[in-house]
Chain A
Amino acid sequence: MSTPQTRLEAHGIVVRRGGRTILDGVSLVLEGGQFTGLIGPNGSGKSTLMAVLAGLLVPDAGEVVLDGVPLARIDRRTLARRRAYLPQSPRAEWPLPVERMVALGLTPHLPAFGGLPAALAARVDAAIAQFDLGAHRYQPATTLSGGELARAMLARALVGEPELLLADEPLAGLDPRHALDGIGRLSALAGRGTLVLASLHELTLAARHATRLAVLREGRLVACGPTAEALTAGMLHEVFEVNACVTGAGTRTASVDFT
């Protein structure tokens, strides 16, 4: 299981694409046990930052360091065992049964040859139970509803018991009940010591559940800190260009009302 010492640092990340600067010197520190919400308008560079932090995209400048070791120097299989990544709107490309799709999360744990060892099969069972997928176990993953697929993908990401979870808009397209369920699970995961970073557009949910917020605007980090300090009406006006009223940020009764 994860240790509270897990520490992911980004130092001066710069990413350029076709003459445009997508990320412009982003530095931040994330630690185990924190649930950090990454917020910012569309096109502010959230997905790119997620990919860089996950080690899937090599930045043009700067580096990401995990527990003192640059990601570039960590073997891809070792990194895959420690870090889980969920892209935006993940989907299954073949109609695999849900249990086999969840088991794919154990790919970096598999022995060189042969099938799934019993110890790992037990982890699949546990993940299926934990994410309430028992009724869908043998259902083709392509026929799941949006909410069920989101749960199944989260089970896929967490079945390997990673120390870090980076999820890109895990609540996109979910109805309120499933969104609440999803963010509750992320928050509980961080409560058990995992480093959780999720990009979010649901500001009220972020205000209630995220312990910290990182705010991106046009490729720059404009705020990063505990939710109560980072989420202010002034920041929302500056970053999202909307007028909002923020009450109780960082508590379970927080609300963000647009005016």
Chain B
Amino acid sequence: MAILSPRRLIYPFTVEQVYSLRTGQFVLVSGLVFTGRDRLHKYLYEGGACPVNLREGAIYHCGPVVIREDNSWKVRAAGPTTSTREEAYLPRIMQEHGVRVVIGKGSMGRVMAKACHSAGCVYLHAVGGAAQVLADRVVAVKAVHFGEQFGLTEALWELEIKDFPAVVAIDCRGRNLLQRVMNSSARARDKLLESGEKVVS
């Protein structure tokens, strides 16, 4: 019944908040988050200077649609992008910058589970494609970095969010919900192939 009683996570994400989370729990995240995707991860991994302090912060894997209107930024769409692509970069970034929360979507395996365990970090899974529901939870655009260098999609956006919904996919103990689903679906497939009737052309 984790769904019925969501846990609230509020920035800065302290050790206490994050350690109490368990895979499968439903959470609502509020406060500051930093978006980043492929170019930012490669840049930080290679030792690039970070213009913001990521300590006790969250990286949100997202390339938002943002337009300039009346001299301010307006988020038109802001769902998660696939986190799997950043798995190789993340352990070093999490360790060096003290990141506590990664928000995104898609499978992450042993590398990320191990990194979450050793860095005291969680991986939160948002609903892929839910660009409008999630854009509505962005209450303010604080700043943008690397807009020119990486383009607006790949830029680092400082977003203030409120009650952003997600599910704990990897917790601080390194337990991995997606891996568990993957393993049980592979067993179910094997069973279907062993016992199922063969297709006749």
A and B are interacting partners: no
